[in-house]
Chain A
Amino acid sequence: DTGVSQNPRHKITKRGQNVTFRCDPISEHNRLYWYRQTLGQGPEFLTYFQNEAQLEKSRLLSDRFSAERPKGSFSTLEIQRTEQGDSAMYLCASSFPGSYEQYFGPGTRLTVT
């Protein structure tokens, strides 16, 4: 399968714990995006990378959130000291540079208890 992959698909954690999600984009794509989606809403932009450079971060991305793409391939999204409000689907997408057509992965569903 050459699509965007995300791991894990589901994560249940207790409040206060740290969690990390991984995204592997389509191999030819050098742009990678993170979105968050809560129930009944469309995805909301969090941040994006071109190669290893993080080019933009949303105000939604609080200090507890950090994203990296160290070698310009896969990316990780870490949430520290999770809160119940962090419960959501975290989506990753990738695209060619200059293209607005973003291809999404299956998402990671986070539940904070």
Chain B
Amino acid sequence: GQQLNQSPQSMFIQEGEDVSMNCTSSSIFNTWLWYKQDPGEGPVLLIALYKAGELTSNGRLTAQFGITRKDSFLNISASIPSDVGIYFCTGGSEKLVFGKGTKLTVNP
């Protein structure tokens, strides 16, 4: 089956720093979605990507759909404490396939 690898697994940054994380797939996706999950809560959809090469922003978040269709990137600019959480990439169709997530810690 499809496998998603997210890196890094965890990040510890200072408030105000920019963050980059990425996701690679063993197979081609037609859709990439990025979610953020807080402890004890369900994932919240941040950004959806539908075209190879597409670059989409949502506030301080920017995500890109890799040209090979096997990868995607998420950048967070000027991080703030509420950015803390686990970021998941996912893709696929009706049954979303999730990576293991990137855990982000922001030190004030």
Bound CA span A109–B4, Å = 25
Q: A100-B48, A102-B96 are in contact. Are A42 and B42 (CB under 8 A)?
A: no
**Are B33 and A100 in contact (CB-based, < 8 A)?**
yes
The size of the chain B interface, using a CB distance under 8 A, is: 23
B-side contacts of A40, CB under 8 Å: 100
Within 8 A of A (CB), among B15-57: 31, 33, 35, 40-45, 48
B-side contacts of A33, CB under 8 Å: 94-96
**Are B42 and A45 in contact (CB-based, < 8 A)?**
no
B108 to chain A, nearest CB (A): 25
Q: Verify if A22 is at the interface (C-beta below 8 Å from B).
A: no
Bound CA span A56–B92, Å = 14
Q: Verify if B66 is at the interface (C-beta below 8 Å from A).
A: no
Bound CA span A45–B100, Å = 14
**Are B40 and A109 in contact (CB-based, < 8 A)?**
yes
- Set B31, B44, B98: member contacting A100, Cβ < 8 A: B31
B interface vs A, CB < 8 Å? 4, 31, 33, 35, 40-45, 48, 88, 90, 92-101
